[in-house]
Amino acid sequence: MVTEDIYNKEYDVIIVGGGVTGAGTARDCALRGLSVLLVERNDYSTGATGRNHGLMHSGARYAVTDGESARECISENMILRRIARHCVEETDGLFITLPEDDLAYQRTFVEACQSAGIRADIIDPEEARRIEPAVNPDLIGAVRIPDASIDPFRLTIANLLDARMHGAEALNHHEVEGLILNQGRVEGVKLFNKLKGEHVEVRGRVVVNAAGIWGQRIAEMAGCKISMFPARGALLIFGHRVNQMVINRCRKPANADILVPDDTVCVIGTTSDRIPIETVDDMRVTREEVDILLKEGIKLAPSLATTRVIRAYAGVRPLVASDDDPSGRSISRGIVCLDHAKRDGVEGFITITGGKMMTYRLMGEIATNAVCAKLGNTAACVTAAQPLPGSEEGAPSQSDLTKRYSFGQRAAIGRHGSLAARIEKDNDIDNALVCECEGVTVGEIKYAVQQLHVHNLVNLRRRTRVGMGTCQGKLCSCRAASLMGEMSHDVKRAQQDLASFLDERWKGMRPVAWGDTLREAQLTAAIYEGLCGLDMAVNTQGKEDQQ
């Protein structure tokens, strides 16, 4: 559907926020037969969804401190293994005790896991060293739990794709500037189309605020007050996959105590700091954060000391003050669903927040239940049983992949599951590799541009992993920009886009710009500025949109 037609429809529900919670809610609403529009101010997964470990928690981390969260996690963990298996890598995880930790905590931990229904097996340190050679060999205790690694970008897009297959519409790069209010009712959203610079209004019977930390602002537009407590966490990506299992510290949750293998890299995190709400858009990672992450990370896996750090990033979790506590001191770590009709006397407006990436599906279910109650829809939720597109029955197994497909095709199937069948691969050009690190072909880029809301290289990176490998987009970003320029017939914009993309990559490299990462930066400058003169061709003021 063209954008103008999307604007002119009236929807049962408009969802604000293109993170995994918004996408999961859109899917659930669409599957229950509602007409749905999702709007996102930047790109899908730009906020906390794309700024975490990529860890599929077993819930063990919360078992001691928050049994309810732990039970939610393990239950959703088991569901995601079924419905989103093309986004999940079943790595399992270890909770290790180091000499400086109290081994007595291990017993408390295992008991708490068992009472939350999480499998937790104490194993011998020798056994831990054998199954995970990267682990700190000085460990004095280890527990094996069902953690896994999950790709949040892929998960979000799979939810959106399924929502669209069931009639939903989605618009990225559309910012909510205000809500349409009429006699105490929310009747739609006022949008700014950042791609075209247009202001439009779209009407909906219910508006769901799924904007994460930015949800406080959206609620204020309806005159509702939610007290958010932004909790910032910084993380580091290492240049190769040091560990094969998730490694956690077996102690009370603290800084930098989880190391997750993701695809070809691994990620250490997080720090945890309360920050003022005014600073949530400043994602710059500080030197102090980098220092803590390195110091603690090396304790989990000593080889990190000599592994290249390719990128640093930070995200903000939306913690919410509990409504029962007027002082605002008591913070809920669980899912918070607010019906503003009951709470604030504003009809047609629901906020879904708190929670975790792990519980996005459950959050979607709870929010959709609230929407359905308002609209008198009685359809049951099916998202826990029905696989996401890409994870349907009959999707090829790993051994099929190695036998029958090229590297590029295998990588694409890994990323898109059974949807990879839609990628053009019938001629030699479509099979040609654009990104050698991640195995992205011309055909996959065409598919992403045509089907997956790709307007720029940052969008493309989130859909395909182009430029996410160890070279951080040294040559592939130019190849991809060139291809996109030819597809859109707007070469000038593609060039500006390339500069913005390099700038976005640099923002993550700069806090860790030493060693090979500084070297790569100089190499990139030699190619794009020295050789190509890109700096002379573009306006060097980075667009605010490309943070």
Partner 1 sequence: MRMDTVIMGGGLSGLTCGIALAKRGQRVTIVASGLSTLQFNCGSMELLGCIDGKAVTSPLEAIATLPQGHPYSKIGTDRIATLAEQAKSLLDDAGVIMEGNAAANHWRITPMGIAKPAWLTLFGHLHIDDLNQLPARRVALMCVRGFFDQPNGMLANGLKELGFEVEKIEFTTDDITALRRSPSEMRASSLSKHLVSNHALLRVADQINSLTGDAELVLMPSVLADEEAVRTLQSMVNKPLRMIATLPPSVPGARIQTLLRHYFRMLGGNYLMGDSAVSGTFDGDLLTAITTAKLGDMPLKADNFVLATGSFISRGLIADYERVYEPVLGLDVDADAEREQWTRFGVLEQQAYMGYGVATDNNLRCLKQGKTISNLHAIGSVLSGHDAIKMGDGTGVSLLTALAAAQDILGNK
Binding residues for partner 1, rule: CB under 8 A, are 287, 294, 406-408, 428-429, 431-434, 436, 441, 475, 478-479, 481-483, 485-486, 491-492, 494-495, 499, 502-503, 505-507, 510, 513-515, 518-519, 521-527, 529-538, 540, 542
Which contiguous run of DSSP H or E holds residue 471? none
Angle 226-271-512 from CA coordinates, rounded to 5°? 125
Q: Which residue has the tokens 């309810």?
A: 68
Shortest Å distance, C-beta 238 to partner 1: 14
Compute the distance between CA of residue 12 and CA of residue 187 in angstroms, rounded to an integer.
10
Q: Distance between alpha carbon 533 and the CA centroid of its chain, in Å?
A: 34
Q: How far is the CB of 511 from partner 1 (least distance, A)?
A: 9
Q: How far is the CB of 534 from partner 1 (least distance, A)?
A: 6
- H or E segment and range at residue 236: strand 228-238
By beta-carbon proximity to partner 1, the closer residue of 191 and 478 is 478
Q: In terms of CB distance, is 27 or 461 closer to partner 1?
A: 461
CB of 481 to partner 1, least distance (A): 7
Q: Are 27 and 160 in contact (CB under 8 A)?
A: yes
Closest contact distance (angstroms) between CB of 428 and partner 1 is: 4
Number of other residues whose CB lies within 10 A of the CB of residue 547? 15
Which of 452, 538 has the CB closer to partner 1?
Answer: 538
Nearer to partner 1, 309 or 321 (CB): 309
Strand duo 198-209 + 349-354: pairing: parallel
Which residues sit opposite 435 in a β-bridge?
440
Q: Min. distance of Cβ 299 from partner 1 in angstroms?
A: 16
d(CA 155, CA 45): 10
Give the Cα separation of 463 and 472 in Å (integer).
15
What is the spatial distance between Cα 244 and Cα 90, in angstroms, rounded to a whole number? Answer: 10
Q: At what angle do helices 442-451 and 407-416 cross, to 10 degrees?
A: 30
**Minimum distance between the CB of residue 442 and partner 1, rounded to whole angstroms?**
8
Neighbours of 284 (CB within 10 A): 14
Q: Taking the CB of residue 274, how many other CB atoms lie within 10 A of it? A: 10
Min dist CB 284 to partner 1, Å, is 8
CB nearer to partner 1: give 166 or 493.
Answer: 493
Answer for the pair 131, 143: CB distance below 8 angstroms, yes or no: no
263/503 with CB nearer partner 1: 503
Q: Which is nearer to partner 1, 103 or 429 (CB)?
A: 429
Cα 312 from chain centroid?
Answer: 15
Cβ proximity to partner 1, 344 vs 424, nearer residue: 424
